[in-house]
Amino acid sequence: MSNPIDLDPFARFRAVTRARIGLGRAGDSLPIRAVLDFQLAHARARDAVHGHVDFAAMAERIGATQPVIRLKSRAADRPTYLARPDLGRRVDPTAVAGVERGDWDVAFVIADGLSAAAVEAHAEIVLSACLRRLGDLKVAPIVLGEQARVAFGDEVGDALGARIVVVLIGERPGLSVPDSLGAYLTFAPKVGRRDSERNCLSNIHADGLMHELAADKIAWLIRQALRLGLTGVDLKEDMAGTAALPVAP
């Protein structure tokens, strides 16, 4: 009997990557299995982009242990949000006016971004893991941002008076991962911050950066940012050789 590897030389590579390689062909087209897999992945990506996070249920769950604030961006609905990225970067002025300023080390914002699936699957787990590592810091009320992009957190963090803001947001889905969460950290948040002034951890999902390791890295970056007074291109994540971070039970 022939070795399967000899019959399919791409088999060994598919075992270690999610990329679509060596799909074969059926006449002038792809095999039906490859076509159907692609269509399913595309449908999941579209669902992630157009989906809605159940922020009411999330607020109830998080609110059992942490104060929660719900805010919306200036994008009135999902179609507007997708067509006008600028509106998703700013907070509804009638809502942000009611935010009470305080003396906070860090503020966490959970934003729907471009993948409701990512936020539903990972945001609360990562948030909880981060809070267990930051028990000695003053954490602002958790903000849930609807129709929000990364820069939404700048205005929120400034309104809260937080020294650093962490935005947990659904990343743009691809055809291999529709539920990838990103974390963006910005020191001294205010409207107009550039992307170069942020640190980003991406690909937080079941087949990527795991929740606990992501929380380790986020907590490390927060402490370094507070110590150095900066985030962005001048702050490099380098946890190698450092002591394990304390984790509350």
Answer whether residue 197 shows pLDDT above 80: yes
- Residue 146, domain member (yes or no): yes
Spatial CA neighbour of 48 closest among 145, 175, 178, 176:
178
- Per-residue pLDDT averaged across 59-65, rounded? 96
What pLDDT score was predicted for residue 105? 98
pLDDT band at 130 (very low <50, low <70, confident <90, very high): very high
Query: What is the average pLDDT across 63-74?
Result: 96
In a domain, 120, yes or no: yes
* Number of domains observed in the structure of the chain: 1
Rounded CA separation 232/77 (Å): 31
- For residue 143, give the CATH number of its domain: 3.40.50.11240
The reply to whether 13 falls in a domain is no
Domain assignment of residue 28, yes or no: no
Residues 170 and 181 sit within 8 Å (Cβ to Cβ): yes
- Domain range for 111 is 50-228
Among candidate residues 236, 216, 215, 214, the one with its CA nearest the CA of residue 225: 236
pLDDT at 176: 83
According to the model, what pLDDT value does residue 246 have?
59
Do the domain assignments include residue 45?
Answer: no
Task: List the strands of the sheet with 181-187, edge to edge.
Answer: 68-72, 142-146, 104-111, 162-170, 181-187, 198-204
Q: Given this model, what pLDDT does residue 34 score?
A: 83
Let me know if residue 81 belongs to a domain. Answer: yes
Residue 85 lies in a domain: yes
Taking residues 102-130, what's their average pLDDT? 97
CB 165 within 8 A of CB 191: no
Q: Which of 23, 25, 29 has the alpha carbon at shortest distance from 11?
A: 23
The answer to the question of residue 233 being in a domain is no
pLDDT for the residue 225: 96
b (16+ CB within 10 A) / e for 210-241: bbeebbbbbbbbbbbbbeeebbbeebeeeeee
Whole-prediction pTM value? 0.87
